[in-house]
Amino acid sequence: MAGYTRTVILLAALTALFGVIGQMIGGQQGMIMALLFAGSMNLFSWWNSNKMVLRMHNAQPISPQEAPRLYDLTAKLAANAGLPMPALYVIHEEQPNAFATGRNPQKAAVAVNTGLLEMLSEEEVAGVIAHEFAHIKNRDTLVMTVTASIAGAISALAQFGMMFNRGRNRQGQNPFGPIGMLLMVILAPMAAAIVQMAISRSREYEADRMGAEICGQPMALAGALQKLEHYAHQRVNQRAEANPATAHMFIINPLSGARMDNLFSTHPRTANRVAALEKLAANMRARPSSNPWGQEIPSEKPPALQGPWG
């Protein structure tokens, strides 16, 4: 529950920051206009987020006939999570990764890179998809779309404020003058990025925990995270690099430059996530078996999508 409370507080801080910038630019009317603008952007993102993100990464829909094993695996995990079957997409990308999107469980989609299907065992693939189901169940896909929209709008608004106030000293609206506006342009987007990434990181830990419970094998998810991080540093994801605002949606940061668990990292350190999963695995071993897979999922690496996955 603490994670949800923190997310609400951070979202409120992001919205307040947007209002403060609007007030600096145009006083009370500017603040009202800024908040109305943020609301309209969020409404647009809420309605179109899944289509936008899938199009950015050239995700291709895939049918049960094209990948029966992947569909069966996903359907079983959906049942475990108590969720409807999502739309499945494949991204033809060597870097192994995955993300979920959609404004609610009924409109959800899960996209997996072909590299993930080629490099992970079926058990590890189950852990990754279960992690994405946790994001869907917690409505993280909607929360992260809203935060990305507000953060982007803050950057745009700060730039607009600089141009609007250039050469003018708007007394009563910006008491710090041109220097204050310059600081706003620099610091406001930075503050928005910090809040956005803090929200993203808090949701990843919760999705790991819930995802491990959905698939019943925390160490399979832990192994998948380690493999994904290793390969993410070796293979550049060109579409993710071109659309860095979507990086927080992936299970592992797809960008080649982010490696530290600091204020500017969209994801926690993988070592920290693995340590948390190891603790969860120890707790689950102390209970009656909760592994829903039995001996169905082999530990060997499955072939590419064109093989038995398809």
Q: How big is the CA angle at 6 (ends 154 and 145), to the nearest 5 degrees?
A: 45
d(CA 129, CA 211): 8
Give the C-alpha separation, 152 to 171, whole Å.
27
> Catalytic residue among 118, 132, 204, 229, which?
132
**Distance separating alpha carbons of residues 194 and 282, to the nearest angstrom:** 33
Query: Mapping DSSP to helix (H, G, I), strand (E, B) and coil, where does residue 243 land?
Result: coil
DSSP one-letter string for 51-105: HHHHHHTT-EE--TTT-HHHHHHHHHHHHHHT-PPPEEEEE--SS--EEEE-SSG
Return all residues near 101 (Cβ < 8 A) that are at least 6 apart.
Answer: 49, 50, 53, 54, 108, 109, 111, 141, 145, 249
Q: H-type helices in the chain, by residue range?
A: 2-56, 68-81, 114-119, 122-137, 140-165, 177-215, 218-232, 238-242, 270-285
- Enter the tokens of residue 24: 């600096």
Is 296 catalytic? The answer is: no
Residues assigned a catalytic role: 132
